[in-house]
Amino acid sequence: MRTKKLFVMLIVGTALILSGCAGMNDNTAPKASVEQGNVVTLDYTLMDENGTVIETSNESIAVENNIPQTVDLLTFEVGASNILPGIREGVIGMNEGETKRFTLPPEKAFGAYNEELVQSISIQDYRNATNSTEIPQPGEQLMSQMGVITVKDVNETHITLDANSPLAGETIIVEITVLSIEEGQEAANNSVN
């Protein structure tokens, strides 16, 4: 009788352990890592080469550095061309919750400075194009169909405009934290076929 009870207890205990009902957590399950085609959401901070924060989605970092917080987290499909190449490449292999800091040379960030994107136009042509009588000041940034254009110089007759990114030619530091990883539409389509 005693052997029968011991045998039943052994079977019940084994069943509990194998079913996971004994309160054991399986922390050994591999975490999903970022792959090409995934949609990721990142908390990010962009800094210049000296570590000065330029832009961030993190409220506490924005407050600490006395800059406005970027409204949105960065969400994109890995491989999309509208994201800096260095971020696109750097996020591959990261896990949810992981933070990484890396330095991006100009070619992996906002590109080399391109002198062809600096053009002078007459003040009259500027006024005709903008329907404005105001003349912008050097350093002022204007929005256009091309994006942000910086006024480099103004004299009596001409305005020099620069369509390069303000960070073109600069090495930047990026710190990102992966907040979520989701299967992208392209990856989902491939798994169905």
Of the candidates 180, 174, 189, 191, the one whose C-alpha atom is nearest the C-alpha of residue 78 is 180
Encode pLDDT of 41-74 as tens digits.
999 999 999 999 999 999 999 999 999 877 689 9
Using CA atoms, how far apart are residues 107 and 167, in angstroms rounded to an integer? 11
Q: How far apart are CA 125 and CA 108, in angstroms?
A: 35
pLDDT-wise least confident of 4-13, 24-33, 105-114, 141-150: 4-13
170 Cβ partners below 8 Å, 6+ apart? 48, 49, 106, 109, 110
Rama region for 88: left / alpha / beta (φ>0; ψ in -120 to 50; rest): alpha
Structural domains present in the chain = 39-112+167-181 (3.10.50.40), 115-162 (2.40.10.330)
Question: Is 0.75 topped by the overall pTM?
Answer: no
What residue type is assigned to position 50 of the chain? N
Backbone angles phi, psi at 105, to 5 degrees: -70, 165
Confidence of residue 17 (pLDDT cuts 50, 70, 90): very low
Q: Using alpha carbons, select from 110, 94, 101, 119 the residue that is nearest to residue 166.
A: 110
Q: Region 11-17: what's the mean pLDDT?
A: 44
Q: Would you say 159 and 126 are in contact if contact means Cβ atoms under 8 Å apart?
A: yes
Q: What is the mean pLDDT of residues 77-85?
A: 91
Neighbouring CB atoms inside 10 A of 73's CB total 15
